[in-house]
Chain A
Amino acid sequence: MELSGAEILVESLKREGVEFLFGYPGGAVLHIYDALYKQNDIRHILVRHEQGATHAADGYARATGKPGVVLVTSGPGATNAVTGIATAHLDSIPLVVLTGQVPRAFIGSDAFQEVDAVGITRPCVKHNFLANSVEAIAPIIKKAFYVASSGRPGPVVVDIPKDITAPNVKIPFEYPDHIEMRSYNPVLKGHPGQIRKAVDLLVGAERPMIYSGGGVVLSEASEALTEITRTLGYPITNTLMGLGAYPGTDPQFIGMLGMHGTYEANMAMHECDVLFAVGARFDDRVTGDVEKFCPRAKIIHVDVDPASISKNVKVHVPIVGDVKSVLGDILDVLRQSNQRPDSGALNSWWEQIRRWQADDCLSYDRTSDKIKPQHVIESLWKVTGGDAYVTSDVGQHQMWAAQFYKFDKPRRWINSGGLGTMGFGLPAAMGVQLAFPDAQVACVTGEASILMCIQELSTCLQYDTPIKVINLNNRYMGMVRQWQEFQYDGRYSHSYVDAIPDFVKLTESFGHVGMLIEKPQDVEPALKEAFAMKDRLVFMDFITDQTENVYPMIEAGKGHHEMRLAPARELA
């Protein structure tokens, strides 16, 4: 079978099982678009901005575990995609991003729509390739999918000069069955000696704490994590990226940790004597001041990326390996050994944790005549039966969603944790809804974030994605306003947008349903009404209390034990 470069590319994507291609055409990719036109296996989703394409592919990848695939043209197509690539990079999400490039003979000549896409994306990809011949396309695509989805996943960019996709050059097509790269062999199996050490330390703990992150989700290790946690009976906290990896409604789950984590999770981190860190990377939003981090703990750290280990915090028992594989091995050792935790010590540790929990750090004013954002999220959880896919943008609404939507399953909570990309939520929700057309998908956002990728409402109409947009509209960039209140004596410098659109009309102009909700008692009925519209995108504009802050909070330079609690909740 002799195929052109463009046909080889499309065939290769089919061999990788690609269902959706999120893209936007342009000069440098026209041959590829022509090849796409002649087939029906891959569904192309035409976005309205390339940032939307990368976020949609990212949302698809986070919800399904499969790599998201993007096709954009050269120059501005590639640069517009960069924010989405960096977003995926910081959260280790597998993406394959195909960027068109000017013909090889023009590279370096400042040709029309030419940028050095490989150079621009180098710092924010796991790896990137410049395909330099028709023959190179198939093996590079094979490598791109392999690198993107193995080890610690991440985005891979493939830059494709236009001339190698031209229809007049055809070569025999053969797609490689497997690929070997001498320079890339991620270690997946944990070292047995280290695993034994970890088990000894774990069962010997008096005040143990399990701290797990996005790596558990990426590695599909939720079941193993849940089994270990239940076997041991230890408290567990999840990072923002790890929510849902352990059931959020389980009594052993003591909430998210970190900057806006629960009081009990952060205090337990501070007081624990053994910390079991699984697929988490000791991010600065999690640790607070590293000098004050877990001062009494021996730390076990499981991570597939050796560079994550002892990067921010020195650990005592490092285990490099795939989280699922290592947790499986730990379970085996635990089952075979007759060592069990000291139940007396564990009981008094739980008593201490229950005392911290009794402080009810997430409580808020339920009698207010203004809509409290926390109340919206709680109602969302109730109305969706705790079983929706929830995407978010970045800011206060993101933290409230993380705190108040109790995720019981992995891959349900989809947010830009590492890069903190405003504009992520709506296109990500689109990717999720396309992957799961019958699922309930909510995008929790704010009036500032949503405007950063609002154009994708148009894509949502074209492809029938009945997302429910939960807009917590407080007429401020809420998190910026909160920091300005705490740290800049209330000088709200440019955190207020003076001209906010009428979101109901705006949504209607895109062909969707808009709703305005202004009273607390209307929150739940409105959500029910919206979710009953199963085939419509509903944009719900909740006018919320402008001054509500996210509590608790660890401010800059503080440790886990130095949280700032809600004013009414300050400890006696």
Chain B
Amino acid sequence: MRHIISILVENESGALSRIAGLFSARGYNIESLTVAPTDDTSLSRMTIVTTGTEEIIEQITKQLNKLVDVVRLVELTESLHIEREMMLTKVTALGGMRDEIKRLTDIFRGRIIDVSDTSYVIELTGDSDKLDAFIKAVGGKSIIEVVRSGVTGIARGEKALKV
């Protein structure tokens, strides 16, 4: 099962390696990890996508909570939530394909943010499945480069991960 864990950590040097180190030392998977400071500059927010059985996810959250730098965490996938990932895709755009890719980008509500004689760079945001679907639709042959930000997310409604 895929799980998304959001973590508030003290914005201190070494906090990221404590968390990444915990995952590698205990053999947990990390599918993606994003981190950035929050509106409160003393805190960073980290979003980790991981997989494992219920027992493993329980251990992961307990072990994360045990780290002295971790202030609070929530498993987003336990309740209603929104997840988003941003992707930049550089594709070959020649001749008739230029229009075709433009149309596909519109269908996926992406934006072309760089144009050259032979290529586009497309910005696309959505959940991971949507980004996967776009890559499939464009087709492997056209793709020059793909950059994904990793997943970030937030709970729906009034629930919040705050100090």
* Contacts from A to B (Cβ < 8 Å): 118-119, 122-123, 126-127, 130, 147, 181-184, 305-307, 309-311, 314
A127 (CB) vs chain B CBs: closest residue: B68
Q: Which of B22-70 contact A (CB under 8 A)?
A: 25, 55, 58-59, 62-63, 65-66, 68-70
Task: Choose the segment among B11-19, B109-117, B147-155 that binds chain A (4+ C-beta atoms closer than 8 Å).
Answer: B11-19
Which residues in B have their C-beta under 8 angstroms from that of A183? 9-10, 68-71
Whether A307 pairs with B66 at a CB distance below 8 angstroms is: yes
Whether B71 pairs with A182 at a CB distance below 8 angstroms is: yes
Q: Report the bound CA distance from A368 to B94 in whole Å.
A: 92
5 contacts between A and B (CB under 8 A): A306-B66, A307-B63, A307-B66, A311-B59, A311-B62
Q: Report the bound CA distance from A181 to B65 in whole Å.
A: 14
CB distance from A355 to the nearest CB of B (A): 37
Cβ-closest 5 pairs across A and B: A307-B62, A127-B68, A183-B71, A184-B68, A123-B25
Q: Report the bound CA distance from A123 to B55 in whole Å.
A: 22
B1 CB within 8 Å of chain A: no
Whether A122 pairs with B63 at a CB distance below 8 angstroms is: no
Whether A181 pairs with B62 at a CB distance below 8 angstroms is: no
Whether B68 pairs with A147 at a CB distance below 8 angstroms is: yes
Which residues in B have their C-beta under 8 angstroms from that of A306? 62, 65-66
Apart from A183-B69, A307-B66, A311-B59, list 11 A-B contacts with CB within 8 A. A122-B14, A122-B17, A122-B18, A122-B21, A123-B21, A130-B13, A130-B14, A183-B10, A184-B68, A311-B62, A314-B55
B163 CB within 8 Å of chain A: yes
* Contacts from B to A (Cβ < 8 Å): 9-10, 13-14, 17-18, 21, 25, 55, 58-59, 62-63, 65-66, 68-71, 163
B42 (CB) vs chain A CBs: closest residue: A182
Binding site of B, secondary structure by majority: helix, strand, loop or mixed?
helix
CB distance from B161 to the nearest CB of A (A): 14
Which residues in B have their C-beta under 8 angstroms from that of A118? 14
B18 (CB) vs chain A CBs: closest residue: A122
- Of the residues A123, A130, A305, contact of B66 by C-beta under 8 Å: A305
CB distance from A323 to the nearest CB of B (A): 17
Q: Report the bound CA distance from A434 to B66 in whole Å.
A: 33
Q: Report the bound CA distance from A123 to B70 in whole Å.
A: 15
B15 (CB) vs chain A CBs: closest residue: A183
Which residues in B have their C-beta under 8 angstroms from that of A123? 21, 25
- Of the residues A119, A130, A182, A310, contact of B58 by C-beta under 8 Å: A310
Q: Which of B10, B13, B66 has the most CB atoms of chain A within a 10 A radius of its CB? A: B66
CB distance from B100 to the nearest CB of A (A): 50
Which residues in A have their C-beta under 8 angstroms from that of B21? 122-123
Q: Report the bound CA distance from A307 to B26 in whole Å.
A: 13
Q: Report the bound CA distance from A307 to B55 in whole Å.
A: 11
Q: Report the bound CA distance from A119 to B71 in whole Å.
A: 21
Which residues in A have their C-beta under 8 angstroms from that of B13? 130
B10 (CB) vs chain A CBs: closest residue: A183
Whether A310 pairs with B66 at a CB distance below 8 angstroms is: no
Q: Report the bound CA distance from A310 to B10 in whole Å.
A: 28
Which residues in A have their C-beta under 8 angstroms from that of B68? 126-127, 147, 181, 183-184
Which residues in A have their C-beta under 8 angstroms from that of B70? 183
Q: Report the bound CA distance from A306 to B62 in whole Å.
A: 7
Whether A182 pairs with B59 at a CB distance below 8 angstroms is: no
Q: Report the bound CA distance from A281 to B58 in whole Å.
A: 16
Which residues in A have their C-beta under 8 angstroms from that of B55? 310, 314
CB distance from A115 to the nearest CB of B (A): 15
- Of the residues B17, B62, B66, contact of A119 by C-beta under 8 Å: B17
Q: Report the bound CA distance from A182 to B72 in whole Å.
A: 9
Which residues in A have their C-beta under 8 angstroms from that of B10? 183
Which residues in A have their C-beta under 8 angstroms from that of B65? 306-307
A122 (CB) vs chain B CBs: closest residue: B21
Q: Report the bound CA distance from A184 to B69 in whole Å.
A: 8
Which residues in B have their C-beta under 8 angstroms from that of A130? 13-14
CB distance from A350 to the nearest CB of B (A): 36
CB distance from B7 to the nearest CB of A (A): 11
Q: Report the bound CA distance from A122 to B58 in whole Å.
A: 22
Q: Report the bound CA distance from A311 to B59 in whole Å.
A: 7
Which residues in B have their C-beta under 8 angstroms from that of A182? 71, 163
Q: Report the bound CA distance from A183 to B66 in whole Å.
A: 9
Which residues in B have their C-beta under 8 angstroms from that of A311? 59, 62
Which residues in A have their C-beta under 8 angstroms from that of B66? 305-307
B59 (CB) vs chain A CBs: closest residue: A311
Which residues in A have their C-beta under 8 angstroms from that of B18? 122
Q: Report the bound CA distance from A182 to B12 in whole Å.
A: 14
A123 (CB) vs chain B CBs: closest residue: B25
Q: Report the bound CA distance from A118 to B65 in whole Å.
A: 20
Q: Report the bound CA distance from A183 to B11 in whole Å.
A: 12
B71 (CB) vs chain A CBs: closest residue: A183
B66 (CB) vs chain A CBs: closest residue: A307
A152 (CB) vs chain B CBs: closest residue: B66
CB distance from A152 to the nearest CB of B (A): 8
Q: Given A182-B71, A183-B68, A183-B70, is A307 in contact with B59 using a C-beta cutoff of 8 Å? A: yes
Q: Report the bound CA distance from A127 to B66 in whole Å.
A: 10
Which residues in B have their C-beta under 8 angstroms from that of A127? 68-69
Which residues in B have their C-beta under 8 angstroms from that of A314? 55
Which residues in A have their C-beta under 8 angstroms from that of B69? 127, 183
CB distance from B9 to the nearest CB of A (A): 8
CB distance from B160 to the nearest CB of A (A): 16
CB distance from B43 to the nearest CB of A (A): 10
